[in-house]
Amino acid sequence: MNRVYIKTYGCQMNERDSEQVAVDLRNRGYSIVPHEDEADIVLLNTCSVRDQAEQKAIGKAGHLAVRKRKDPNFVLGILGCMAQNRGSELLDRLPDLDLVAGTQKFHRVPDHLDNLIASMNGQGPRPSSIIDLEEEAGSQNTINAHKPGERQVSAFVSIMQGCNMKCTFCIVPKTRGPERARPIDDIVAEVEELVANGTREVTLLGQIVSSYGRREIPFADKKSPFVQLLERLNAVEGLERIRFTSPHPRGFKDDLVQAYGELSKLCEYVHLPVQSGSDSILKAMNRPYTSGRYMELINDLRAVQPDIHISTDIIVGFPGESEEDFQLTCDLFKEAAFDMAFIFKYSPRSGTPAAELEDNVPQSVKDDRNQVLLRLLEQQSLRRNNSLVGTVQEILVEGPARKGEGMYMGRTRGFRKVIFPGSERLVGELVPVRIDESSVTTLKGQLEIVGVA
């Protein structure tokens, strides 16, 4: 009864949370297995950002519940954002659930599983389903461990939890709670330990990383707590690259812009969600900036770092979005020259202010607008990738490519995927690769120095 399979839906933060749960369970004597068929316990770590993500998780849980009815000792749990969002309501739809644990309770999962298993073994009364959703002070500090003895060339590091913004479309403040930051010293110590085990790149995670520590940590030399953290990490010996996701345009001040010109390990890449190019839609979304201010920020970043790669999030079909509003989004998309983007069709999320608005953009129109932006993205991404053909790029080698014998995969500082012939001993190394082919999503090349492979 100690084999656990964890399936993760959603963002990088969810992946990081699942990794922490796996570490905690291993430390408690559980075994993490690669497939649900091998498991005595299945935990679904869920996402609530879009209805589709919730429906996928509910569908998977319903499928697993069939197994639960045949095997009463099989344990089924739902963790994370959907657990937090729906709570005990999940039991009405999925009465076979054993565990519902919210976003501030990941570290309690081993205790809950211990109690469930003990009761199944006759060591106590059989509990009803465990629901644990309460806020817990300091829970942000429990996401701090990584797989022991396992090298991660690139690792996620959670620096904060929660969100204080009130975007009308977003469920995250409800599912993740208010902003809570980890201490800078703790984060630096975590990164130093990762580097000692072979990590060369870290991606800092938070709902809005640019808001990191603003309530807990004072500014120093006119620099925000987040920039102070970046400076500390830039000084970590052996760390080669720093990334972060996701900031908010409102919190992206001059000190953070200047960091792109001053910190050598801060990669020439930023994911900066804009959501819409229409000021009226931005206002309806409660996004406290204009399209003009957003473009000023993009231009400031390019002035400091001309080679920067910029990605974004866009929502099409928000309530009230007219054809003119959408055209403004297309115009900004072209002007900003995004070479990466996540484009979503608006879907109402219960519990958000936007859910009270009439969802008056037909699904067919949302589909069409989504396709228009996807085609624009393909053109812009291909144009940017084509511009790299003939250049030599510094690649951090992550491991074997999915296809092709002897082919390896790594990324540029601008987060572009590169495939090239190499060898196992290059994993974790920074190597120069001359780019000779490009597609919309991938670059291909050859090691520049003869004999390195």
Domain boundaries, the chain: 3-132, 139-386, 392-447
Residue with tokens 């290059």: 426
99: enclosing H helix or E strand = strand 99-101
Cα(445)–Cα(433) distance, rounded to whole angstroms?
6
The strand order across the sheet containing 201-205 reads 154-158, 201-205, 241-245
Class in CATH terms, 139-386: alpha beta
Name which of 267, 306, 313 is nearest 410 in CA terms.
267
0.85 exceeded by pTM: yes
Cα(333)–Cα(373) distance, rounded to whole angstroms?
8
Secondary structure letter of residue 139 according to DSSP = G
Q: Return the SS3 of 379.
A: helix
244: enclosing H helix or E strand = strand 241-245
Q: How far is CA 11 from the centre of its chain?
A: 4
Same fold, 3-132 and 139-386: no
The whole-number pLDDT of residue 330 equals 98
Cα(335)–Cα(307) distance, rounded to whole angstroms?
16
Domain 392-447, second-level architecture: Beta Barrel (2.40)
Cα(405)–Cα(425) distance, rounded to whole angstroms?
15
Q: What is the DSSP string of 51-84?
A: HHHHHHHHHHHHHHHHHHHH-TT-EEEEEEHHHH
Cα(41)–Cα(51) distance, rounded to whole angstroms?
25
Secondary structure letter of residue 217 according to DSSP = S
- Computed on alpha carbons and rounded to an integer, the radius of gyration of the chain in Å comes to 23
Helix locations, 321-404, DSSP H: 323-336, 363-387
Structure tokens at 171: 């469920």
The whole-number pLDDT of residue 126 equals 59
Structure tokens at 216: 């807990």
17: enclosing H helix or E strand = helix 12-27
Cα(297)–Cα(212) distance, rounded to whole angstroms?
19
Kindly report, residue by residue over 73-125, the tens digit of the pLDDT. 999 999 999 999 999 899 999 999 999 999 999 999 999 999 999 888 766 55
First to last CA, the chain: 45
Q: How far is CA 210 from the centre of its chain?
A: 15
Phi, psi at 418, each rounded to 5°: -130, 130
Write down the CATH superfamily of domain 3-132.
Methylthiotransferase, N-terminal domain (3.40.50.12160)
Residue partners of 350: CB distance under 8 A and separation at least 6: none
Q: How far is CA 382 from the centre of its chain?
A: 24
Structure tokens at 12: 């990088």
Secondary structure letter of residue 100 according to DSSP = E
Instruction: Find out whether the peptide bond into 350 is cis, omega within 30 degrees of 0.
Output: no
CB 283 within 8 A of CB 168: no
Cα(97)–Cα(90) distance, rounded to whole angstroms?
8
Cα(122)–Cα(116) distance, rounded to whole angstroms?
10
Q: Which residues of the chain have pLDDT under 50?
A: 452
The whole-number pLDDT of residue 336 equals 98
CB 400 within 8 A of CB 408: yes
The whole-number pLDDT of residue 125 equals 59
Cα(6)–Cα(21) distance, rounded to whole angstroms?
9
Cα(86)–Cα(102) distance, rounded to whole angstroms?
10
The whole-number pLDDT of residue 50 equals 83
Cα(135)–Cα(318) distance, rounded to whole angstroms?
31
Cα(54)–Cα(114) distance, rounded to whole angstroms?
27
Kindly report, residue by residue over 197-249, the tens digit of the pLDDT. 999 999 999 999 999 999 999 999 999 999 999 999 999 999 999 999 999 99
